[in-house]
């Protein structure tokens, strides 16, 4: 089993949202790279980084913080949030991340997803499934997609 501690980024800070609500934010650290070092010092071999603003805006926003984390630790790191076009994938892969995490775009644009899988070394699809439906948000609307039929798309 692999354990990937997570650092959620918003405004360049390490935060947690209560049940995904951007209005209920707790700031845990001003410097996410310090948190990454603490995880590594405690034995973490992997790190999951989420750009919360990137996920909301559709393009990565907290890249300086991501780069600072990567410079601070020598462990495998993956990034999710706002990775929705080929140019972003190529730019972010140059940072030295081990993996990229995509969600909504894998289902809403399966052709794009197949294209990036051709050149990206490791792409992870992360989808939340509740009550037999994927929780997929795009266009400001939460769409319930069937995990059995809709997974065949990708």
Read off φ and ψ for residue 34, nearest 5 degrees.
Answer: -65, -40
Q: Which CATH number fits domain 6-128: 3.40.250.10, 3.20.20.70, 3.40.109.10, 3.30.2130.10?
A: 3.20.20.70
Please give the average per-residue pLDDT across 12-38, as a whole number: 93
Tokens of 125: 């699809």
Collapsing DSSP states into helix, strand and coil, what is residue 133?
A: strand
Pick from 35-44, 61-70, 103-112: least confident: 103-112
pLDDT in tens, 130-147: 555 555 554 444 555 555
User: What is the predicted pLDDT for the residue at 139?
Assistant: 44
pLDDT score recorded for residue 80: 93
Q: Where are the domains of the chain?
A: 6-128
**Distance between CA 134 and CA 104 in Å, rounded?**
10
Inter-CA distances, 44 with 11, 14, 51, 106, Å: 24, 17, 20, 28
Asked if the model's pLDDT at residue 115 lies above 60, the reply is: yes
Over the stretch 64-101, which tens digit does the pLDDT of each residue have?
999 999 999 999 999 999 888 888 888 888 898 998 99
- Exposure string for 105-123, b = 16+ CB within 10 A, e = fewer: bbbbbeebbeebeeebeeb
Asked if residue 115 lies in contact with residue 89, where contact means CB atoms within 8 angstroms, the answer is no
- For the cut 50, the answer to whether the pLDDT of residue 25 exceeds it is yes
Contacts of 138 (CB under 8 A, 6+ apart): 104, 108
Distance of CA 144 to the CA centre of its chain: 20
């Amino acid at each position: 089993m692999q354990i990937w501690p997570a650092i959620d980024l918003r405004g360049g800070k390490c935060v947690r949202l209560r049940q995904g609500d951007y209005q209920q934010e707790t700031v845990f650290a001003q410097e996410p790279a310090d948190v990454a070092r603490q995880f590594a010092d405690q034995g973490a071999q992997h790190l999951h980084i989420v750009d919360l603003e990137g996920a909301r805006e559709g393009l990565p926003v907290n890249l300086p913080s991501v780069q600072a984390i990567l410079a601070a630790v020598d462990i495998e790191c993956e990034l999710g949030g706002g990775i929705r076009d080929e140019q972003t994938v190529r730019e972010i892969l140059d940072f030295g991340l081990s993996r990229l995490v995509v969600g909504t775009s894998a289902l809403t644009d399966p052709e794009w997803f197949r294209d990036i899988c051709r050149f990206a070394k490791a792409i992870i699809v992360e989808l939340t499934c509740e009550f037999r439906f994927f929780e997929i948000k795009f266009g400001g609307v939460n769409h319930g997609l069937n995990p059995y039929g809709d997974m065949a798309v990708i």
